[in-house]
Structure 1
Amino acid sequence: EKFNLSNEPHVNMAIEDHMKRRYYTWRYNLHQKFLAYGSEEALENRPQTVGEDDWNYLVQLWQKDEWKKSSAKNKENRKKLKITHCAGTKAFSRIRYENIL
């Protein structure tokens, strides 16, 4: 109602990408709050913006050994990167191609 957006694929994709980034950031911030407390304390200190069922689900997820193992593996893989990607949504190969032209 407030915005007059066209219903074109590139507009929808941009909106969806923005919402994904917002969701990942929100979930990352929740995980940081979880880490600030112990497991039991985290259940008692639920953020007001998160429903009780959702918070319980996330706390249980973050306590699972499978999730911890996957998280540790991802941290190690990120440490092995020689170049940190800082070009936004463009892949290095696309930037290289554009610079050749």
Structure 2
Amino acid sequence: MPISDPPTIPRWGDVTDDVRQLIRQRLQDKFDLDLSVPHISYAIDDMIQERFKEYRSMLHKRYKRCMSHEEAALSAPPHVTDDDWRIFCDRFSFDSFQKRSKINSDNKGKLKVNHVTGSKSFDKIRHNM
């Protein structure tokens, strides 16, 4: 069973259990992993999900570098098929995606601190020092 390219899957939550199990199996074949241990299995699943999001983000950045939707549709990355790239580009042109993207960008711009260290904010860490 082939793993579907990320452009054809909208979100990590839409990835089927069969595909997730296949990814885990490929990792076990390549590395010495004991996925029967709960915290290892959880960590691996979290890393796979994060890698999926990073890859999709990288493709989105490539899409945004183009001047128009038509130009983007013609400049598929070498590792993505033309059909999958068109699906990906079409998804970014949807009004619902554009609206959600604008909301997320606005909210990100309102942040005074971009991140925290673990569950403690920078203020708590500074106070403890």
Scaled by the length of structure 1, what TM-score is found?
0.78
In the alignment, what sits opposite 1:74?
A: 104
Cα drift, residue 2 of structure 1:
3.9
Instruction: Give percent identity, aligned residues only.
Output: 32
TM-superposition CA deviations, 1:63-98 (whole Å, max 9, x none): 1111111100011111222332242xx3338xx6xx
Q: Which residue of 2 aligns with 1:8?
A: 37
Match of 1:19?
Answer: 48
C-alpha displacement of 1:26: 1.0
1:44 is aligned with what amino acid? L
Alpha-carbon spacing, 1:8–1:36, altered in 2? closer, same or farther (3 Å): same
| Unpaired stretches in structure 1, ≥5 consecutive residues | none
May I ask how many residue pairs the two structures share in their alignment?
Answer: 94
Partner residue, 2:10: none
Unaligned runs of 5+ in 2: 1-28
Q: CA deviation at 1:30?
A: 0.7
The alignment's TM-score, normalised by the length of structure 2, stands at 0.63
